[in-house]
Structure 1
Amino acid sequence: MSAAAVTSFPIVSRVWKSSIGRKLIVALTGLALVGFLAGHLSGNLLVFVGREAFNDYAQMLHELLHGAGVWIARIGLLVVVVLHVAATISLTRENRASRQAYAHPTTIQTTKSAKGMIFSGLTILAFVIFHLLHFTVRVTFPADRYVDRDKFGEQRFDAWQMVIDGFSNPLVVLFYLIAMTMLCSHLSHGVGSMFQTLGLRSKKSAPVVTAISKGYAVLIWVGFISIPISILVFGYGR
């Protein structure tokens, strides 16, 4: 986020200049992403139900708000991810500068953890852009090659076949697996931090929050990688 963009909006500028404000941005955007991932996974798993069910789901998304809904969601997702990464980088740079004069093993370890979060966050941002180009904007899947018909006989895009073909490419699957692994590593730490920033984590609740963070991360990881693994390794849909 550029300085010009921030200072153009006084309220945004005040929030961004405050470390508490940026932590709140990280937490709220993180919460939005956690909710999005759960919803996105539940929709994606319809690929196992079959072509008709998955294409019905894809058609519903593309017709939401007369076609505007899906673009609002795409742009919103990208904005949320960019804000999340930008605020995290800004906080980490600020923390690193303040800790240099007071080096201590615990703070050094925290800095290493933060660096890992930044790297995984940037990788996830790159993946989101790639994923949008690949499966959503359909750069490599032209509509005239993927045709299906709904229950009324109307022509529609065959999203199910697009997913099958997309995950039949080993390089795409490899990138997807790496991104999902990094995403879930990010989640296992980030969900706990989100609880803490929002004041929902205490010494008493810390073990439960940690269990929720790690459990959610594992659930998301298994759910998302089950699709490309089933297609590429076990030949589902091919």
Structure 2
Amino acid sequence: MSTTAVGLRQNPAARFWDSTNGKKAVMAVTGAILFLFVIGHLAGNLQIFEGREKLNAYGHFLHSIGEVLWIVRVILIVAVVLHITATVQLALRKKRARPVGYSRREAIASSYASRTMYWSGPIVLAFVIFHLLQFTAGYIHPESQFIEGDVYRNVVAGFQVWWVSAWYIFSLCLLGLHLRHGIWSMFQSVGFNHPKHTPQLKSAALIIAVLIVLGYISIPISVLLGIVK
């Protein structure tokens, strides 16, 4: 056995990461970080309904705290990488534990959200990258439409393109499925999994996910309907 392998076995952090419970804990913590970001980002985005000045002031504030903003970005990037890595490794570990599939697969205890967890995550990630390229970097916008610093105009101009709004709404619906299962899993991880409270907790996870999705998609829908101009 190599010295490196021995060192990894003796390293508590490496042992924790290598364990199934460790990966689940990492998924829970990083998921909580990303969930807080989703809530904060939604609160900022909804300021579009308060007018151009309000949303542009919010965008200017974010750029004025450059160092802090980059720290937050780094934390989010690390959280995303760890979250996806732990998810993929757990999925592969589960597959290796049962190399031969079920002759008849029935989703008795799992929900549609949990069964789509592994593929909805990468699609949501692709959406986030697209979203940043469009509204933050301005690469996807035509040059005549993207004006740096005018967040309100860039958002409205972007969502006036129907396929951009359609992709946004589709991705947010997948995010809702992801959140529904993730929030329920978070309740289980912290010990709120007593059979007596299971129906209420599942309903709470669904309601939270639906409210978040409705909040986000209300923006492109309002732009397409001409409510936000």
TM-score interval for Structure 1 and Structure 2 normalised by the shorter chain: 0.7 to 0.9
What are the residue-to-residue correspondences of 1:93-112 with 2, within 5 Å?
A: 93-100=92-99, 103=102, 110=110
Whether 2:24 is the aligned partner of 1:23: answer: yes
> Structure 1 residues 12, 123: CA separation in 2 closer, same or farther (over 3 Å shift)?
farther
Alignment correspondent of 1:138: 138
State the Cα distance separating 1:114 from its structure 2 match.
5.1
Whether 2:161 is the aligned partner of 1:162: answer: no
Whether contact under 8 Å (2:145, 2:157) holds in the other structure is no
Alignment correspondent of 2:226: 235
Alignment correspondent of 1:129: 129
> Structure 1 residues 173, 113: CA separation in 2 closer, same or farther (over 3 Å shift)?
closer
State the Cα distance separating 1:15 from its structure 2 match.
2.4
Whether contact under 8 Å (2:113, 2:178) holds in the other structure is no
- Name the Cα RMSD after superposition: 2.6
TM-score, structure 2 as length reference: 0.84
What are the residue-to-residue correspondences of 1:132-211 with 2, within 5 Å?
A: 132-140=132-140, 146=147, 157-211=149-203
Whether 2:44 is the aligned partner of 1:43: answer: yes
Give me the whole-angstrom Cα distance separating, in 2, the residues matched to 1:139 and 1:213. Answer: 36
TM-score, structure 1 as length reference: 0.82
**SS of 2:167's equivalent?**
helix
Unaligned stretches of 5+ in structure 2?
1-7
Tell me how many residue pairs correspond in the alignment.
218
Whether 2:113 is the aligned partner of 1:116: answer: no
1:54 is aligned with what amino acid? L
Give me the whole-angstrom Cα distance separating, in 2, the residues matched to 1:140 and 1:113. Answer: 31
> Structure 1 residues 25, 107: CA separation in 2 closer, same or farther (over 3 Å shift)?
farther
> Structure 1 residues 98, 57: CA separation in 2 closer, same or farther (over 3 Å shift)?
same
**SS of 2:192's equivalent?**
coil
Give me the whole-angstrom Cα distance separating, in 1, the residues matched to 2:158 and 2:23. Answer: 37
> Structure 1 residues 92, 144: CA separation in 2 closer, same or farther (over 3 Å shift)?
closer
Give me the whole-angstrom Cα distance separating, in 2, the residues matched to 1:218 and 1:202. Answer: 24
Whether contact under 8 Å (1:27, 1:198) holds in the other structure is no
> Structure 1 residues 11, 135: CA separation in 2 closer, same or farther (over 3 Å shift)?
farther
Deviations 1:133-186 (A, max 9, x none): 211222245699526xxxxxxxxx111111111111112111101110000011
> Structure 1 residues 55, 102: CA separation in 2 closer, same or farther (over 3 Å shift)?
closer
Whether contact under 8 Å (1:82, 1:125) holds in the other structure is no
State the identity %. 39
Moved more, 24-33 or 108-117: 108-117
Deviations 1:181-236 (A, max 9, x none): 0000111111101111232322222122111110111001100000001101x113
**SS of 1:182's equivalent?**
helix
Unaligned stretches of 5+ in structure 1?
1-6, 148-156
**SS of 1:83's equivalent?**
helix
Deviations 1:27-79 (A, max 9, x none): 11111122111111111000000001111111111111xx1222222332232
Moved more, 98-107 or 128-137: 98-107
